[in-house]
Structure 1
Amino acid sequence: MYLPRHFRLDEPEAQRSLMRRYPFATLVTVTGEGRPEANPLPLLLHAEEGAKGVLRGHIARANPLCRQSPAHAMALFHGPNAYITPSWYPARGEHGKVVPTWHYLALEAHGRLRLIDDAHWLRAHVAALTTRFEHDRAAPWSIDDAPADYIDGMCRAIVGIELTIERLVGKQKAAQHKDSATQRSVRDGLMAEGMAQQSAGWLSGAIFE
């Protein structure tokens, strides 16, 4: 991605935090014919594995990706994003030299891709995925709540995805390069339109963590 120096998101913990907070990613691969393909799916970060972590997910067995088995892939994660109106800039009333823009957080995770067709691996992955998104509910659902043969049948219909991360490229396009008055105004404008304070802070230039 295009990455001006002042928009770089290089801090490893901030990069890991973005993948954890916004796990729904786009897995980008290239076919043997050179055609790019994109598959949206949730990916769980296992930060303790490998030099930079491992991402795990799954796709439908009918997905053509299962027959292509590409060696490398890129997972693209998107954090909060928002349109920024020039009306929020103090400079509008000073000289009027302002234009609209879009603020966002994004991260590219590049690495080696492995497809996994193993019943035990898949069941453990589905259990971990479910726990990740059910654990803070009042009455969390577990795969053990469903008949075992039903879960086994569902697992036979999927194939595991494992991306060993080799390179991370993060971007926080916000108002880091603008003065503090502009940053406060952008944050206040986003919050007035209903954005949570933390996300509004990130999109106005606060450090993502």
Structure 2
Amino acid sequence: MMQGRGTPPRPMPGSPGGIARGMMLLGRGRRDGMGCFSATPDAVLTALAPRVALWLVGGLLTVAQAPTLLSGAKILFSLCLVLAPVVLTQLLARLWAREALWPRYMAAALWCDWLVLFVMLAVITIVAVLVPAGIGVEHSVLILNGVIFAYNLWLTWFVAWVGLALSMWRALVLVLVIASVIMELGVLSSMLPPHYSPWQDFLALPSAHATR
């Protein structure tokens, strides 16, 4: 007996197709996307690998262009951006008795971070239309960064809420902890020599080093 045409089988959790599907679902606020990711330590390492590779390449290019202490500070701060969420969320998951859920959550969170790039491309397209319409470049950059920042915060909150089975308030606490630690690291970086201020890069503002 021939089987009728049915829906195509869903990709296996942790497979490239499953990861892509999970990203698209979570990025649109669909909690069922969490099941598309594997719940193993290897899944976390696989999700972390592209970020570490990108950090290594970026670090080498930064040093090659300007082998200075400021470049070293940029590389060190960017490494903190990569590792801080991993370390902090694991500590919070242990504190809230969510350790068993953490590997799947972390894999999903790391992969979903790449969605911000797609949002950025979409916003850049909109900004490219707004600039000729009379909005200044500085205002356009602020709009771009504001939208990306807001979406990133929401996505971080949503993935934590779903992936770690937290209350809405605990998920918000997780987001605030990550944001606070990163901000404190930025303040510390700007206070200590060579006084690298990452927020000037984020806001595309002229730095004090450029004006000297």
Under a length normalisation based on structure 2, what TM-score does the superposition of the two structures give? Answer: 0.25
Under a length normalisation based on structure 1, what TM-score does the superposition of the two structures give? Answer: 0.25
Q: Which has the higher strand share?
A: 1
Task: Select the structure with the greater relative contact order (CA < 8 A; seq sep ≥ 6).
Answer: 1
